[in-house]
Structure 1
Amino acid sequence: EKRYYTPSMKIAYSDNEAKVEALPSGRFKVTAEIEYDHPLIKRQRLEIIIDEEVFKKEIAPAKTYCFDYEIEQLEAIGLAKGGSLKNAIVIGEKGIHNKEMMTFEDEFVRHKILDLMGDLYLIGRPVKADITSFCGGHTSNTALAKLFAKDIEMTGGGVVPEYPMELDLEGVKSAIPHRPPFLFVDSVTITEEAKAAVGRRLILPDEWFFKGHFPERPVLPGVLITEALAQTACVLLLSKPDWKGKLPFFMGINNVKFRRPVNPGDELILKVEIIRPRMRGGKAAGQAYVGDALVCECEFSFSLVDKE
């Protein structure tokens, strides 16, 4: 499971030339701006939300760059040993020496974002934050990374899991206290933290309740469909570290409708959404499907209490 760092609060760094700040967020968004006293660059600005596909298409292809007057200085101190006109954009006073190498019109600010991402990865995990960088470079980037590391040390990590989060049967059992024969969820996909999830439960022909409901015409009891929806909501909430280990209690159920029978061999698709969250409970809406057919819908309230 990939895990992300997000700042616990606003974190900022500035010096005489650069300013960079990060705000907590559930995404990775960068607003970067660069400004040079040079007619070919002047000012470039890009605001972009970055995921894996956006990174591959919009950021990764942006090549490094330098001014031609810097090359001799870089070589003199042992840098840019692998640099050439084939892998770096070189800017002269009157033009770009190898403009055919450019992928984007605003390639320079995109490469600054690439530098930022690489430097921040020094903390050892990807970041979810809204980051603003003005005239940033490696110095300000690594300074921000050090502040992130200090935030991790002070707060215990500020780590958020990646969503959607897939939980198999063992993951379900680690989240909720229910056990067979009263465990009615095989797996859960949490699509949004503490907000929405989809559970699954295959109804086997030899389930214990079919012995009495009904011997000659086995049908899944409707009350167990609502229980399966409630257990899916429990997994959604109790997988959150703040609530781990709590005991969930049904407090009420409303607007229950059963649309069609559920038979042996059917797989229940259990969709739940928290519609009224509370500190120690809340209200959820649930819908159960077999294939595309709605079989049950309801709203239920619940309470989360300490085990002792």
Structure 2
Amino acid sequence: MDSHQHTISTPQSMSGRGLFHGVPVNLTFLPAPANHGIVFRRTDLNNAEIPVSVEHVTKRVRRTAIKVGEASVDTIEHCMSAVAAHAIDNLIIELDGPEVPAMDGSSLPFYETLLKAGIAKQDTPRRRLVVKTPVVIREDDAMVAALPSPDPGMQVVYELDYTGVSKVIGRQLKTFDLDDPEADYAKEIAPSRTFSLEAEAMAAQKAGLFPHLTVDTALVIGDDGPLGTNEFRFDDEPVRHKMLDLIGDLYLLGAPIQGRIVAYKSGHPMNHRLVRELIKQHEAARLKDLAHHHSVLDVRRLFRMMPHRYPMLLVDRVVEIVGDQRAVGVKNVTINEPFFQGHYPNTPIMPGVLVVEAMAQLSGVLIGQSLEQVGKLPVLLSLDRVKLRKPVTPGDQLMLIAEAVKIRSRIAHMHCRAYVAEELAAEAQVKFMMVDDEAE
């Protein structure tokens, strides 16, 4: 696996109709700087940007879609599969419609367009997610799992079982190593097309979907095989396409995987769940490691940076600061906390408002790293999307994370989370108004 990040060398464009709604759309791939990530840009919506991340996945049937605010992009999985196969880390994908063009229903047109654009190596090291412990997602008889592997890349095993549903498809099994230099994604996986059984296709068109498609332009499988003039490109084309989708969905991680992926009858929602669990595992392991590191800021230095004092100082130490973008802090919760005397005497639970306050205090430390905020005091302005997911009790260690969404001269907007071990205890969007610090 290459240890450097990659983007493309030159812009390249393609046009087509969206798979589900048939809306014409123009798409352009553009280079992006290191650590930018993959971002879709809706040029028809004032250049609204939607980063490719599982946190932006929105519910859709039989496809992967992402949404930020009112801007969304549907059916990104075929494009993202080609991006993953090229090991591209940083890319802007402009389009002037709500859905990625379907082209022929495979990822090959995207793969070839990116190949034409040229892959450019960047100096920045590439991040990757190493599967340390097994993660298994089950739903009825379907399953998808990520397992540790000593090999450097991602190996995928997919079993598709249409026994009793379609004798043409039946049971199919495919293995593929995405990072094996001898494996050929362009020949083995990319040409496989999205497919539908005849009954499913007819019901979908009655519901107003796929209005522009016919049995000659889409792979529709009847009792005896593909309908119309279509033929299978591979004897096992359906399972290859399911693998194509899985590779695209897993790139919602924002980084390549080192591990072995095993799937049985898995679809997009289960793939998304696996990504979320992998992120949760990775974040928990990273926070556990950080908790044992030396402090960047201990409580004595925090006294010099923050106006809070006992009993309202709710950050014990800061273990990581990344510029003015991200901070990680620790709050050790003990039975000696004064609020436990009344909340509640027989069942001590840290008040949720104080968990939020701890996150807000860490945000203040991060805001203070910005040169624009020298001599300023962040005063809480608003709280949005506050969710308290787990009680915090004596003996817990709260790992606090504050990430900057936007920091300006008058307003700061932060995304905050608090974890206990591997579990998310709380999260919130916090906004501050910057006022002059009279102590300066």
Structure of higher RCO (CA pairs closer than 8 Å, 6+ residues apart)? 1
Q: Which has the larger radius of gyration?
A: 1
> Structure 2 length normalisation: TM-score?
0.33
> Structure 1 length normalisation: TM-score?
0.47
